[in-house]
Amino acid sequence: MSEPILEVKDIHTFIGQFHILEGVNVTVQRGEITVLLGRNGAGKTTTLRSIMGLANVRSGEIRFKGREIRQMRPFKVARLGIGYVPEYRAIFRDLTVEENLKIAEREAGDLARRLDFIYSLFPDLQRLRKLGGAQLSGGQQQMLAVARALVAENELLLIDEPSEGLAPVIIEQLMAAIRQLSAHTTVLLVEQNFHMASQLADRFVIIEEGRSVLSGPMSDLVGNDAVISKYLGAA
């Protein structure tokens, strides 16, 4: 097996005084889709934020392509080749679709190089490119948020709850896009929607009260109702 692209080892993260992550381990293999599962408030989002450098990780190790990135500033983490798609579709509402993409350029010309690929994944965005972010529907905003992470040549994408609050038809479209882009990049996904997670992911990590408790290939989990109901509630 090749060297993992991302290794998170026993991280402890604090938000203010609160000890949120109390030992999370995540290993992401290159070329795969890994999903973080767990109940609300288990610490999935905080795990992604810890990787990005957006949270206060007091101890543990985070290695990207073998390099320690814990305590690096977020923009440096991003420049190493990690794209972040936060929850709640955090696009820039006062910017047009085009500007939302433009801002993600790390070198001049990034967008021009990748635009065909982006529009092939999300044809809607081409039509909407002059519109303001606030004028887009929820699904379109989510697609823009994912597209934005594709502008630079990222080797790893962290995608947080892409399906949240979206209609089933839109979720299908989004799943197709993520499956397609995973041919080019590695993905670490947070997803509450077990159906979507099981369709997309190669591997899973379950987080429970700030600890990673179980991980393995997705096939181990699918159909294992006992585990699913124990950690994730009703499947």
Nearer to other proteins (CB atom), residue 36 or residue 152:
152
- Per DSSP, 125 falls in state H
Q: Which long-range contacts (CB under 8 A, 24 or more apart) does 114-118 make?
A: 114/150, 114/151, 114/153, 117/150, 118/147, 118/150, 118/151
Q: How far is the CB of 157 from other proteins (least distance, A)?
A: 12
Nearer to other proteins (CB atom), residue 49 or residue 203:
49
Q: How far is the CB of 188 from other proteins (least distance, A)?
A: 14
Q: Rounded to 5 degrees, what angle do the CA atoms 179, 180, 182 make? A: 65
Q: How far is the CB of 73 from other proteins (least distance, A)?
A: 7
Cα dihedral sign, 18-15-160-168? positive
Nearer to other proteins (CB atom), residue 148 or residue 203:
148
Here the tokens at position 106 are 């790390």
Q: How far is the CB of 232 from other proteins (least distance, A)?
A: 28
Nearer to other proteins (CB atom), residue 105 or residue 208:
105
Here the tokens at position 208 are 């429970």
Q: How far is the CB of 76 from other proteins (least distance, A)?
A: 8
Report CA dihedral (200, 122, 82, 185) to the nearest 10 degrees: 50
Nearer to other proteins (CB atom), residue 154 or residue 198:
154
Interacting residues with other proteins (CB under 8 A) = 52, 54, 73-75, 78-79, 84, 86, 90, 92-95, 99-100, 102-106, 148, 152
Whether the CB-CB separation of 82 and 156 falls below 8 Å is answered with yes
